Amino acid sequence: MKKIFITGIALWMTVLICFGNTPNDKTQSLTKQEKVYALSVLWKELHYNFAFPERLQQVNIDSLYLAYIPKIEQAENYDYYRTLQAFLSHFNDGHTTLFDHLGRDFSQYDVPKLSVQVFGEKIIIENMAESMADKLPIGSEITHIQHIPVAEYMRDSIFPYIAAAPNNKLSFGAWVVLFGKPNSLLHITVKTIEGTQSEAQLIRNIWATEEEKREKWAHPFNSNSNDYLPINIEIKQENIGYIQLNTFAPASVIDTINAVFDQMLPQLRQCKGLIIDIRNNGGGSERAWFNIVHHLVLTDTFTEGVSFAREHSAERKAKGQACDSILMKLIGATFHDTPYVDYYKGTVMNETFSYSFSNPVPDSLKLRQPLVILSGSGVASAAEGFLLVMKEAKRGIIMGEPSKNSFGQPLFIQLPGDVVAMINASHIKSVDGTDFSQTGIPPDITVPMDVKAYLEGRDNVLERAIEELQKMIKQKK
């Protein structure tokens, strides 16, 4: 299944959209007609190619388009981007957004010395500058941003520009909200673990400050250097193999992943059980996991879902218009039922690809131990493809939280002002018809990240996985 690494693009594009960037000359010189044309192209392509036609009906795309015409006409410079992104964000899809063609110019925005994590519906402080340690104790929950309740601020100022399913907008937004123009102020109110309230005004100036002059972090981070490697393999307690897959991008990591995995195969074969941790994996190339899957899946073939796309037929649409009583009355024709009504409404979907692969690894070389796969909201794109393969193969237990639901094949569209948009042109389901497009791939055993454990430097999800694996090992004996 062909995929493009989108998660990082979406995050950075959201930062650029929310907080602005220097507009290029072509954007500044756009006429009203060109801006309306850009919106119209998106409207047309969504109508024709967006892989979720039911969402077009839910948001009433024609009414939405009409409402955005005066907005795009009045949009000057960077507001042109913001308006187009806001329009696309109504469709709640991570592959339907503006493309990060502007680059990552850190001179245009900055962040304060603050690090946060999302736990459930709460944004929790995990670290801060030394000077803020008393005002913003570790573990505090952010309750207000710029004197506005968090839920309200996110809803009005951040979520309208985030292209993601509704249940994932907070995980995007909690990171994005820290960004702003260099040296701008971020005022936050927090509730400490003890229940007291505290306020702080932070300056977004980390990157504007020379590195040797930057204030130190108040606490060491829980993460370690292994979290930034594409692959890390360890043999943990009671001979349990732990395989951490942090990214499948860029393409250059494929050789690294294969080399490390192949080198560790003899030791992994001696393990009593295996854990694969993809919680930090935002995707990349599916070729990065082929070799690993070949050794884990116990069958000669395996599948990675089924892809559906829009199907159009001008003739069948014409025959289907007989179902429109208002139109028939206007043209003096007879209203009647027709088998082509879905073509008229533009909702016909056709199966385009069924992804089935052969497994070249002989049975004698496969890893047959009990397996637990750790997943969560950070798992997207090609990493979700890996998760889907393992779920369809019924290989292992998935534990943690639902994945990001960022499947799809983006269709790229060039717009005036050197803007590139993308629209999701494929709807991927499991082979049994299960649709994960708005829910993500659910775990078999739900284990949310625990705030207390995290702040203590513990990984409660990994701890639970080891416990579950030990049970499976005993049952196998």
| Model pLDDT, residue 102 | 45
Q: Are residues 324 and 449 in the same domain?
A: no
Q: Are residues 463 and 324 in the same domain?
A: no
pLDDT of residue 27 exceeding 90: no
Torsion, CA 453, CA 117, CA 205, CA 145, rounded to 10: -120
Before 70, cis peptide (omega within 30)? no
Q: How far is CA 175 from CA 40, 111, 118, 125, 367, in A?
A: 31, 10, 9, 11, 38
Please give the residue that has the higher pLDDT: either 6 or 231.
Answer: 231
pLDDT of residue 22 exceeding 70: no
| Model pLDDT, residue 104 | 45
| Model pLDDT, residue 107 | 65
pLDDT of residue 290 exceeding 70: yes
Last residue of a domain, one of 299, 325, 347: 347
What is the per-residue DSSP string for 407-446?
---EEEEEETTTEEEEEE--EEE-TT--B-TTT-PPPSEE
Quick one: average pLDDT of 403-430?
Answer: 91
User: Pairing between strand 148-149 and 122-128?
Assistant: unpaired
| Model pLDDT, residue 295 | 98
Q: Are residues 458 and 364 in the same domain?
A: yes
| Model pLDDT, residue 232 | 96
Quick one: average pLDDT of 446-475?
Answer: 94
Q: Which residues of 57-77 are buried (b: 16+ CB within 10 A; e: fewer)?
A: eeeebeeebeebeebbeebeb
pLDDT digits (tens, 9 = 90+) for 63-121: 999 999 999 999 987 789 889 999 999 999 988 999 854 444 556 788 999 999 999 89
pLDDT of residue 357 exceeding 90: yes
Quick one: average pLDDT of 288-304?
Answer: 97
pLDDT band of 14, cuts 50, 70, 90: low
Torsion, CA 47, CA 51, CA 57, CA 62, rounded to 10: -20
Quick one: average pLDDT of 317-343?
Answer: 94
CA terminus-to-terminus distance, the chain: 38
Q: Are residues 249 and 380 in the same domain?
A: yes
pLDDT digits (tens, 9 = 90+) for 297-322: 999 999 999 999 999 999 999 999 99
Q: Are residues 257 and 365 in the same domain?
A: yes
Least confident of 57-66, 216-225, 273-282, 283-292: 216-225
107 vs 81: CA distance, rounded Å: 19
277 vs 241: CA distance, rounded Å: 11
Last residue of a domain, one of 183, 213, 243: 213
The encoded tokens of residue 149 equal 């309740």
Residue count of the chain: 477
- The mean pLDDT value of the chain amounts to 90
pLDDT of residue 420 exceeding 50: yes
Quick one: average pLDDT of 220-236?
Answer: 84
pLDDT of residue 240 exceeding 60: yes
pLDDT of residue 3 exceeding 90: no
Q: Are residues 135 and 272 in the same domain?
A: no
Q: Answer yes or no: is 220 within a domain.
A: no
Q: Are residues 396 and 457 in the same domain?
A: yes
| Model pLDDT, residue 477 | 67
Looking at the 3D structure of the chain, how many domains does it have?
4
Q: Are residues 21 and 50 in the same domain?
A: yes
- Please give the order of strands across the beta sheet that includes 419-424: 97-98, 419-424, 410-415
Query: Could you list the residue range(s) of the whole structural domain that residue 336 is in?
Result: 314-347
Q: Are residues 372 and 442 in the same domain?
A: yes
448 vs 217: CA distance, rounded Å: 27
| Percentage of the residues of the chain whose pLDDT score is greater than 70 | 92
pLDDT of residue 7 exceeding 50: no
